[in-house]
Structure 1
Amino acid sequence: MSSYRRDLVSRSTRNEFRSLATDMTVRLVAEAWQNHNFAPVPEDELNYDDSSVRRTTFETYAAAIDWTDYAQVSRALLVFEDFIRYYRQSGWDGNWLEEVTVKLERDGLSVDERGRISWLRRPVTTGHLEKLTDPSGILAELERVSRTIADDPAAAIGSAKQLIEATAKTVLRERGIAFDEHTKVPALVKQAQKALHLDASSVTPGPDGTDAVKKILGGVASIAVGVAELRNRGYGTGHGQASTPTNLGIRHAQLAANAAITWCQLMLDTLGDPAAPWKKAAVSSQPYQAPTSAAAS
C-alpha cells in the first residue's frame, strides 16, 4: 500500500470501538460485522495478541478492512453505529459515548442523537493523491485540518487556507507550470483553474463549456478565495493577533474546511480525469512527429 494513502478512520478511533466489544458477546460482535458483509481474517494471520476473545473477534474483522478506501470505511461506520445503538439500548452508563464522539470528531465525523455517524467534511479521494508526484503538502494540511477542527477553529481555518495553497501549487507543478511561491491565494486559484481549463475564458466542448458549469466554477473559485479572506481577517492562524477573535466556533471551522475541500476535490478530480478538457488540449498541442521508416513500412 502506498505511503501516501491515509486512514480515513484513525487507529485510535478503531481501538475505542474495539474496547466497546468487551461488554458484548462474541456472537453480537461477529454479527455486527457480518450484517454489513464483512468477513474476518484467520486468527493465525492476525498480528494481534489479546486475552479478550471479544476484542480479538472485533480485530479479525477490522484487520480485513482497507481503512483508506472510502466505500469500505463507509460500511464499517455502519458497524460502529450498531455498536452505539447496542450500548444505548442496553442502558450502559459512563462516558463511553463522549469518548467515541471525541475520537470520531478528530477524524472528521459526527454522531447525531440517533447514533448515526456522518462526515463533517468529505475526504479527498486518495486515488487521485496516489497519482501525484508528491502529495505530501496536501496530506500535511488535511491532517492539520482533521486534527484541529473540533478543538481549535482558528487553526482549522488557517489550515484550510493552506490546503487550498498546497493544492493549487501541486496542480501547477504537475502541469509543469512555473509559479511564484509568494503568490497570493486569489491569483494561485485563478492560475491553477486556468491550467486545468476550469476558468471562464476556456473554450471547451460538452458540459464544461456551458454557462451553467462556468457559473458553478466561478462560485467554487469564490469560496476558495473566501476561505483565504476569512483567515486574513484574523479568524485563522498564520498571523499574530493582539486580541483573539470572538464568537468563533466549530461551525466556522467546518464551513472553511468544507469549502476548501470542495475546491481541492474539484481540482484533483479534474487533474486525474483522463477525459478532462485540459488533457485533450495537452495532447492536441503536442508537435507532430513523422513516422519512422520502420513504422512506415
Structure 2
Amino acid sequence: MNVLARGAICEYWENEGFQAIEGYVPTREGGVRQTAFDSYATGVDWADEEQVRRALRVFESLLRRLRKEGALESAEEVEISQLLARDGCQLDEELRIHVPRVAHLELHLAALGNASGIRSELERVRRVGTEYPDDAIGAAKQLIEATAKLVLYERGRPVNENDDVPALIKQAQQALQLHPAALPASQASTPPDNAESIKRILGALSSAAIGVAELRNRYGTGHGRLTAPTGLGPRHARFAVGTACTWCELLLDTLQDPDAPWRNHP
C-alpha cells in the first residue's frame, strides 16, 4: 500500500515545520513508514502548546489522506476517536481534532512545582466529561479553588483553609494585581493592564468564577441532597468548565508572565 508512503509522511511533518531526528534509532518494531513517523513524533515537545497544535494538524492530514484513499475503515475511526477521548480530545466528522481547555492549562503547570492539586482537578474534569454535568460543575469549582491556592502559595501569601471560594478568588486576583478594585485610576497614559476596559473584564471574570462556585453549591456534586438535580445537560457542563478554565488560564498566565505588572510593583 502506498497510500502513506514514507515520502508523504515526511512531507506532512515538514509542512508543519518539523524535522526528523537525525540518526533516529527505532524504539519499537515496525516498517519504514512507522519509523519515519516516529522519527518526527519523538522530537515534538509535547509541553509546547504551539508544537502540539502543529503536530495535531499533521495527524489530521494523515487521517484525511487515509480516508480519501479508502484506507481508513469506520471501525478504525471509532477506535482512534476513543483513544483521543481518553485524553479529553474530540475527533469530529471532518477528522478535526479538538483539544479541550484543560489540556492548555496542563501546559502552564510544567513550570510549577506545587501544582499537584490542579493536576488532580484537571484529571477529574477530564474523567467526568460532559456526560455527568453535576460532577463537571463540581470539578470546575474545585479547579478554581486549587488554582487560587496555588497562586497565593507562589506569591508567598497565607492560605486560610476556612476561606470560601469567593474570598480565595479575590485574594488570588489581588496577589497578581488582577482585581479591578486594586488597580489605579485610568489616565491618558494608562498601560493596558490598568485600562477601564480591562477592569470591566476582570470584574466580570471574577463574578463568573464566583458564579461557578455558586452553581456548584446548587447543582454540583459535594452536597447531600434529598433529590438529584434535574435539567442539567452537557451545555451546562461545558459552560462551567469553560468559565473555570478561562479564569485559571488568566491567573496562571499572569503568574508566569515575566512582564506582568505584579513583578514591577510587588
Query: Which range, TM-score by smaller chain?
Result: 0.7 to 0.9
How far apart, in 2, do the equivalents of 1:219 and 1:71 lie?
29
Q: Which residue of 1 aligns with 2:187?
A: none
The Cα shift of 1:132 comes to 3.3
Q: Which residue of 2 aligns with 1:287?
A: none
> In 2 relative to 1, CA 275–51 (structure 1 residues): closer, same or farther, beyond 3 Å?
closer
What is the one-letter code of the residue matched to 1:275? D
In structure 2, the gaps of 5 or more residues are: 185-189
1:101-140 alignment runs, 5 A limit = 101-121=81-101, 123-124=104-105, 126=107, 128-140=108-120
Q: Which residue of 1 aligns with 2:217?
A: 232
**Alignment partner of 1:40: what SS?**
coil
1:100-132 C-alpha deviation (Å, 9 max, x unpaired): 223333434333332222333261273x53443
Range 98-107 or range 266-275, more displaced: 98-107
- What RMSD over aligned residues (CA atoms) do the two structures have, in Å? 2.6
Q: Given the alignment of the two structures, is residue 98 of structure 1 paired with residue 75 of structure 2, yes or no?
A: no
The Cα shift of 1:159 comes to 1.7
> In 2 relative to 1, CA 151–242 (structure 1 residues): closer, same or farther, beyond 3 Å?
same
2:162 to 156, 174, 182: 182
How far apart, in 1, do the equivalents of 2:112 and 2:194 lie?
26
**Alignment partner of 1:74: what SS?**
helix
> Runs in 1 of length 4+ with deviation above 6 angstroms?
none
Q: Which residue of 2 aligns with 1:219?
A: 204
Q: Given the alignment of the two structures, is residue 77 of structure 1 paired with residue 56 of structure 2, yes or no?
A: yes
How far apart, in 1, do the equivalents of 2:73 and 2:132 lie?
29
**Preserved contact between residue 91 and residue 97 of structure 2 (Cα < 8 Å):** yes
1:258 to 239, 242, 248: 242
How far apart, in 2, do the equivalents of 1:230 and 1:88 lie?
43
Count of aligned pairs between the two proteins: 259
1:145-165 C-alpha deviation (Å, 9 max, x unpaired): 223325543333222111100
The Cα shift of 1:280 comes to 2.2
Q: Given the alignment of the two structures, is residue 53 of structure 1 paired with residue 32 of structure 2, yes or no?
A: yes
**Preserved contact between residue 129 and residue 135 of structure 1 (Cα < 8 Å):** yes
The Cα shift of 1:79 comes to 0.8
How far apart, in 2, do the equivalents of 1:95 and 1:150 lie?
24
Identity of aligned residues (%): 46
> In 2 relative to 1, CA 251–120 (structure 1 residues): closer, same or farther, beyond 3 Å?
farther
In structure 1, the gaps of 5 or more residues are: 1-20, 283-297
How far apart, in 2, do the equivalents of 1:70 and 1:26 lie?
27
Q: Given the alignment of the two structures, is residue 64 of structure 1 paired with residue 49 of structure 2, yes or no?
A: no
1:253-290 C-alpha deviation (Å, 9 max, x unpaired): 222221111101111122222332322222xxxxxxxx
> In 2 relative to 1, CA 62–190 (structure 1 residues): closer, same or farther, beyond 3 Å?
same
**Alignment partner of 1:124: what SS?**
helix
How far apart, in 2, do the equivalents of 1:258 and 1:103 lie?
23
**Alignment partner of 2:158: what SS?**
coil
**Alignment partner of 2:218: what SS?**
helix
Q: Given the alignment of the two structures, is residue 148 of structure 1 paired with residue 128 of structure 2, yes or no?
A: yes
How far apart, in 2, do the equivalents of 1:272 and 1:177 lie?
16
How far apart, in 2, do the equivalents of 1:201 and 1:192 lie?
13
What is the one-letter code of the residue matched to 2:254? T
**Alignment partner of 2:149: what SS?**
helix
